[in-house]
Structure 1
């Protein structure tokens, strides 16, 4: 192997790495915008609490990430490479869902003395997020058959 081949291979690997970073960054921007628009619609459009907006994005995001992971996995029907998977799963879903906002919501409820509501909120979001992930997985498995 000559030095030129190693340099070309190294440059291609670096280019692929930057392509992955760009895909995740662009996906995260899209996910964050979708999270903002979802919150805006739920809070302003439906006149609901911010708690519902945060719960919504976490539950829907759980469905999407599990569905996409199963449908694009080794036994999946959709052939998506690592960059495409990270664009959706790490980027869009990562930017769309928001564990930190859920933590803030629960903490603010606790500061107000609403311990029961905080506990119910956390338990509900976690339960329904896991349920949504299960539904996403089951849906993808049916498509994969």
Structure 2
């Protein structure tokens, strides 16, 4: 089972996304200022927590090389700079991890999803949901919370 999540407004709160609406420079400055501060949780943080607990149960302590049948992905428009570091820092502070993270720096998500081929993808942007559907990925639109 491969599950892919967007970051802002899905795993994380929409705080940074609201800042981005003021412009890229405002977003970059905000992320640099807050790089060591974890983000608040988004609507799907608890779902990732459940998947991580399930993955731990499925691991074979006698065979560390056996692959878990569940893989989780972070597919985000954030870049690999402060924005990406803040995402990783937030997951680490929550005690969570993903198997793979892709920082697209604003590039389209469709080609990445086509390569990963997740069974389901969660995103708050309708354009990313539609791009996922075009490459054959089941995608769910996550409504943006009004925090």
Q: What is the TM-score with the length of structure 1 in the denominator?
A: 0.29
Select the structure of larger CA radius of gyration.
Answer: 1
Which structure has the higher relative contact order (CA within 8 Å, separation 6+)?
Answer: 1
- State the TM-score, normalizing by the size of structure 2: 0.28
- Which has the larger strand fraction? 2
| Larger fraction in helix | 1
